[in-house]
Chains A and B, each alone.
Chain A
Amino acid sequence: MRDPGMSKAPVAPVASAAHRGGARGAFTLAWLAPIFLATGFAAAHAGVLAEDRADVLYHRYQGGGVTIHGPSVLVRKKMAEKYAVSANYYTDMVTSASIDVEVSGASEYKEQRDQYSLGLEYLRGKTIYSLGYSNSKENDYQAETASFGISQDLFGDLTTITMGFSKGSDTVRKRDTITDRVDPNFNEPIDRWNYRVGVSQVMTKTLIMVLDLEVITDEGYLNNPYRSYRYINPSDERLFALDAEVYPRTRTSNAVALNARYFLPYRAALHGGYRFFTDTWGIGSNTFELGYTHPLGKEWIFEASYRHYTQDRADFYSDLFERRDEQNFMARDKELSTFSSQTFRIGASYEFASTGWRFVKKGTVNIFYDRIEFDYEDFRDARYSLLPATDPRFRPVGSEPFYAFGANVFQAFVSIWF
């Protein structure tokens, strides 16, 4: 993408480029697979396979000049109570005119990412063995991930230990920003290794806690090929110039999270969590979350939650470098900057066919809305320095206001158990 600004790969091998702000280039998904496997497939505690279930979801993200929407379909089916298969199809349809696209001078673009995932589970005693495969494609990025996991119930089924490993292989391509053709000479790989360990523990009749640890290592072309850093250039009329970012070719991160869910004296639940994160790029972050779930009658469940996220910038991040090639590694990816975000969530679920209908045991209709506010502390809104000097909003390079934006995230989905 021409979106010098959007990246993905670096930070999140995960998301489609799209989500990264729009960048074309998506970098991707290699990541979603482990996420999906960890949350979807292994969601059942060991000793019992997840119920037969189908979910059809529509998602829509809108914020920062980027709109991403599409469907996600997940189906899980048991066989002989010992085996289970899961399949997921997910799509991101992106329209992006993010701040990075604007600053680079590019125009709005559209792209699509399709992801297919397949999972297999085998239950033996109190142990569940799981295998997963995920494939994601964009027009300039491909990712494949294979996963293995094991989950074991212990101590009277009050403890569940889960271990997982994933291996991802990505291919980064680059499209010409003018002709939109793929550059045949640009083909860069990324290898990813992911190790997970988790313990969930029933503490009391009303409290369950979960501890998760995850180590991830990436090696390869971790840049976004469309992104640039900016540096002071007195000979340029804007007083700055752009050049291609340079990232380290390796990254290892560690994350540990503690979550708890508590059943209140009346029928409602509180949940809270904390995650600490650090990596070899110098990024450190803290995530706090607190939520409340309240059922109403037999049919309704309402939810509200608040999430607070903060992070420190990567060592090689700068909004404005002093000169070209100032250091070995240089980045101006806002996902690598110092910032905080706050997320406010509300949601409701309505259960239908509670007593069954034909092959359906029950079903739910669900709506969730999240409002996310991002506040950057060292990523400036460079659009102000691109304005004509006669414009009263003009600000010289290096003195632009810090960037901030809000995003609306909407989900609507139907789930049926069969």
Chain B
Amino acid sequence: MTAPIIEDCSRTRSAANHAARPGTRMRARARGVLSALALATAALGSGGCGNIEPWVKPYERQALADPIMSLDRNPVSTAYMQHVFEAREGARGARGSAGGGCGCN
């Protein structure tokens, strides 16, 4: 696997300003949180800077698009089995997949 190439992902102005300004410890921490939120918001809003070159090209995703590679091929069945297990076990949670991001479509 090749590392992703980030071509144009400059920091937002507000984040850069926050990082440069001195302040009290608490204010600095608050600014840090705000900066992180700003960056996260910017990343989400712009589709993750949008310019990362995929290391798996669209035409290389044939295997990932195969139904047998689906993370949840039968959701109604998956939900039922999770119900069966969670009713009889002490553990719970973290069973849902984050969605199959194969980028095939």
Contact = CB atoms under 8 A, between A and B. Distances in A.
Contacts of B4: 155-156, 158
B74 A415 contact: yes
A287 B86 CA distance: 12
A335 interface: yes
Contacts of B52: 154-156
Contact of B90 (A212, A256, A275, A335): A335
B5 to A, nearest CB: 10
B64 A205 contact: yes
B83 A14 contact: yes
Contact of B79 (A11, A32, A47, A213): A32
Nearest to B4: A155
Interface residues of A, number: 107
A301 B73 CA distance: 11
A61 interface: yes
B83 A15 contact: yes
B22 interface: no
Interface stretch (A100-108, A180-188, A261-269, A379-387): A261-269
Interface in A69-115: 72, 74, 88, 90
Contact of B94 (A18, A204, A275): A275
A198 B91 contact: no
A155 B43 CA distance: 10
A112 B52 CA distance: 52
B26 interface: no
A20 B88 contact: yes
A156 to B, nearest CB: 3
B98 A162 contact: yes
A311 B90 contact: yes
Interface string B45-84: 0011000111110001101101111011011111111111
Contacts of A255: 91-94
B105 interface: yes
A210 interface: yes
A321 interface: no
Contact of B86 (A12, A208, A281, A301): A12
Contact of A214 (B72, B78, B81, B93): B93
B32 interface: no
A158 B76 contact: no
Interface in A245-303: 253-257, 259, 261, 263, 267-269, 275, 277, 279, 281, 283, 285, 287, 293, 295, 301
Given A15-B87, A19-B83, A275-B95, 19 more contacts: A35-B79, A35-B83, A43-B75, A45-B100, A47-B103, A55-B74, A152-B47, A196-B94, A200-B100, A201-B101, A203-B1, A205-B63, A208-B102, A214-B93, A255-B91, A259-B97, A283-B91, A311-B90, A415-B74
22 contacts: A12-B92, A16-B83, A19-B88, A31-B92, A38-B96, A45-B99, A47-B103, A55-B76, A72-B80, A153-B103, A157-B54, A161-B98, A162-B99, A205-B61, A205-B63, A206-B64, A212-B95, A263-B63, A275-B91, A283-B91, A349-B74, A411-B81
Interface of B: 1, 4, 43-44, 47-48, 52-56, 60-61, 63-64, 66-69, 71-72, 74-103, 105
| In the complex, the 4 A-B pairs of residues with the closest C-beta atoms, listed nearest first | A38-B96, A157-B103, A198-B98, A15-B87
Interface of A: 8, 11-16, 18-21, 31-32, 34-40, 42-48, 55, 57, 59, 61, 72, 74, 88, 90, 125-127, 151-162, 164, 194, 196, 198-206, 208, 210-216, 253-257, 259, 261, 263, 267-269, 275, 277, 279, 281, 283, 285, 287, 293, 295, 301, 309, 311, 314, 335-336, 341, 349, 366, 368, 370, 372, 374, 409, 411, 413, 415
